[in-house]
Amino acid sequence: MSHRCTHSLTFQVHRTFAQSYIDISRSLANVGVFAGGFSFGTLLSLSPTRENYDYLGNLLAIAFLLFATGLFLAIGIQHLLRNDDPEQPPSARKRLLCQVHTYLICLLIMGGFVVLNVILMNIGKRVYGIAGIVLVSLIPIWYILVSFAEKTGDLSLAERRVAVEADRAQRERGRESGEHLNKA
């Protein structure tokens, strides 16, 4: 007996509203401000007598620049969408610009955290630095999996409710037919 695969992937098209890009950019801007401020503050307080001062200082400066650049790109998304209706999708060109900005910001922020983890490795916290780099590298994998689940409808709450309600109705019908057989 041969089994044929009857399941097919269906991809859903979702329009991302301007407000979603603004919200994402605000969240990423907050990360950029926090991490950039932390890096800059650490750079300013780094003792010149510390071993590897120049190397650690350069790494902190690089991390700060990565975070600051991400911050300004995040502000750029908000500027691009300042006149758009937040409840409507932006034009195709603005949507592409927002997506490119978002990917660049994520890469810059991830790069900044990788640099900070390299610093951890250079101050005797090698295991923590390696663990941090591994965790940062899992972010794109998580993003790809979530994006795929969104496109296939696996994360759609409305479809999940319909499936749960259909399952519940089927169980009810099964109970009713079972009760009917018990009475006979």
Q: List C-alpha distances in Å: 132 to 55, 56, 107, 118, 128.
A: 20, 17, 15, 9, 6
Token pair of 166 as six digits: 């259909």
User: What are the tokens at 178?
Assistant: 């079972």
Three-class secondary structure assignment of 46-96: CCCCCCCHHHHHHHHHHHHHHHHHHHHHHHHHHHHCCCCCCCCCCCHHHHH
Question: What confidence score (pLDDT) does residue 4 get?
Answer: 53
DSSP state of 13: P
CA distance 89 to 179: 52
What is the full DSSP assignment across 123-149? TT-HHHHHHHHHHHHHHHHHHHHHHHH
Per-residue pLDDT of the chain (184 residues; tens, 9 = 90+): 444 555 455 555 566 788 888 999 999 999 999 999 999 999 999 999 988 899 999 999 999 999 999 999 999 999 999 999 988 989 999 999 999 999 999 999 999 999 999 999 999 999 999 999 999 999 999 988 888 887 777 766 555 555 566 667 777 777 766 665 555 5
Which tokens go with 60? 């902190």
Domain boundaries, the chain: 18-152, 157-184
CATH of domain 18-152: 1.20.120
Q: How far apart are the first and last CA of the chain?
A: 37
pLDDT at 159: 55
Residue-level pLDDT at 68: 96
Q: How far apart are CA 175 and CA 179, in angstroms?
A: 6
**pLDDT for 37:** 94
Tokens for 155, please give them: 């994360």
Compute the C-alpha angle 122/123/124, nearest 5°.
95
